[in-house]
Chain A
Amino acid sequence: MIESEAALVERMRRGDENAFEVLYARHQPAVYRYAFRMTGSRDQADDAVQETFLSLLSNRSYDPGSGPLRAYLYGTARHLLFRMWGAAGRVDELDGDYPMEAPDPLEGLEAEEQKERVRQALAGLPPHYREAVVLCELEELSYAEVAEVLGCAVGTVRSRLSRARAMLMERLSGERCRA
């Protein structure tokens, strides 16, 4: 019988090393990837993982009834990162249309160069838009899962991702023009 994550968390809080090892092996990679993709820094990603699991150990705010543990951990890591950046909890949703069929800024570039340019453009996005790309495109979470992590509606996730992609294209185009 597979033990529930809530039971594992409870055991871990009581000092059960095996429960900790199971939870850590199961969720640490995702939390680390998310933090690393958001910050681009391995040290900051390490800090985020440590703080996230410490929070799970000591904080009673995890409620198994309110959603899966993975969403709680993403949410905690996200909160820590935003606090670290001093970013406001609210996001100003950008209005207006973005040209979706602008000249292709990646055309003619080698795959490696495309990747590098996208990495740089992603790092330059405002955090709320960057995380939409990271969670939906890189972490491959469903819109519903991302909505749970971000604490917003699924529609908001869709529109934020759409705008984030458009902003990426715009930045890539700008970069291409400067080059």
Chain B
Amino acid sequence: MNGQGRLSEALKALAEETSDGGASPKVRAALLREVRRRRIRRAAPWWLAAAAALTIGVWLGVSTKQQRPAAPEMVSAPPVMEALPVRQDPRPALEDAPAVQAPSAVVVKRAAPARDAVSARLAATPWMVHQALPPVERGQVLRLPVSAELARQFGVPQQSGEWQAEIFVGDDGLARAFRLVRVPAYK
């Protein structure tokens, strides 16, 4: 065997010697952590949105229960004719005039809304901040469409356009503040 042959043999022996083994378990563990982190990061918008929606749902439920304007109160009123002062007509009444039936009137008294109505010119309602939660330094603002009915319950006048809810969600996934924003403001 010549020098090149011996070199090849030695290289082969070296290859066999270093063919076993692999990276230490800590490398695999570190990479696995990174893979999991990516899965959580990707899944975050889902659970964040779900958590926000849940929190908002509970919040809105409580808010509307506490602040919902009272339903129109139906009050029977005495006939209007009776309430009117007696007419002092100098002319004599026509004896053959038909008798007037006094209408039975209904007066509708609407209870004052719990919140001031939002001006149709305003672009957003004031922020409503959840005070009971611990403060956070960072978060995200989510925008969700809201129905006209829901917007109306927060004092937004009807016929004022389309509104969206802006929800500030802290890094812990809990909604901290809420307001309604008129959609045209973004267009």
Question: Which A residues lie at the B interface, using CB under 8 A?
Answer: 12-17, 20, 24, 28-29, 31-33, 36-37, 42, 45-46, 49-50, 53-54, 57, 100-107, 111, 114-115, 117-119, 122, 133, 137-140, 165, 168-169, 172
B32 to chain A, nearest CB (A): 7
Q: Within 8 Å CB of A42, what residues of B?
A: 21, 24
Assembly CA distance A46 to B43 (angstroms)? 30
B residues lining the A interface (CB < 8 Å): 2-4, 6-15, 17-19, 21-24, 26-28, 30-32, 34-43
Q: Please, which residues of chain A bring their CB within 8 A of the CB of B17?
A: 115
* In the complex with contacts A29-B22, A50-B27, A107-B32 CB distance below 8 A: no
- Contact indicator A49/B19 (Cβ below 8 Å): no
Q: Are B23 and A165 in contact (CB under 8 A)?
A: no
Roughly how many angstroms separate A115 CA and B3 CA in the complex, as a whole number? 13
- Asked whether, in the complex, the Cβ of B14 is within 8 Å of the Cβ of A24, the reply is no
Find out whether the CB atom of A101 lies under 8 angstroms from the CB atom of B3: yes
Kindly state the separation between the CA atoms of A33 and B22 in the bound complex, as whole angstroms.
7
Given contacts A36-B18, A37-B18, A118-B10, contact A165 B36 (CB under 8 A): no
* Contact between chains at B40 and A138 (CB < 8 Å): no
Select A12's contact among B26, B30, B35, beta carbons within 8 Å.
B35
Question: A36: which B residues are within 8 A, CB to CB?
Answer: 18, 21
A50 lies within 8 A of B30 (CB): yes
> What separation, in Å, do the CA atoms of A16 and B18 have in the docked complex?
31
User: How far is A118 from B24 in the complex, measured between Cα atoms in Å?
Assistant: 26
Going nearest first, the 6 A-B pairs with the smallest beta carbon separation are: A15-B39, A104-B3, A106-B6, A118-B10, A49-B23, A138-B15
Cα distance A117–B7 in the bound complex, in angstroms? 10
Known: A15-B42, A16-B39, A137-B15. A106 touches B7 (CB 8 A): yes
Centre residue among B13, B15, B31 by max chain A CB count within 10 A: B31
Pair A16/B35 contact, Cβ less than 8 Å? yes
| Cβ B11 vs Cβ A133 within 8 A | yes
With contact pairs A24-B31, A50-B23 given, residues A14 and B38 touching in the complex (Cβ less than 8 Å) = yes
Q: Smallest Cβ distance from B33 to chain A, in angstroms?
A: 10
A24, B2: Cα distance in complex, Å: 40
A54 touches B14 (CB 8 A): no
In the bound complex, residues from chain B placing their C-beta under 8 Å from that of A16 are: 35, 39
Bound form: Cα–Cα A57–B18 in Å = 27
- Cα of A106 to Cα of B5 in the assembled complex, Å: 10
Residues of B within 8 A of A139 (CB): 15
For A133, give the chain B residue with the smallest CB separation.
Answer: B11
Closest chain B residue to A50, Cβ basis:
B27
Q: Is the CB of B32 within 8 A of A17?
A: yes
CA of A146 to CA of B58, assembled, Å: 62
* Residue pair A138, B39 in contact (C-beta under 8 Å): no
- Asked whether, in the complex, the Cβ of A57 is within 8 Å of the Cβ of B34, the reply is yes
Contact B7 A165 (CB under 8 A): yes
| Minimum CB distance partner of B19 in chain A | A33
Q: Is the CB of A49 within 8 A of B3?
A: no
Shortest beta-carbon distance from B5 to chain A in Å: 9
| Other 12 A-B pairs with CB < 8 A, given A15-B41, A115-B13, A138-B14 | A15-B42, A17-B35, A32-B21, A32-B22, A50-B31, A57-B31, A57-B34, A106-B7, A114-B9, A115-B10, A117-B10, A168-B7
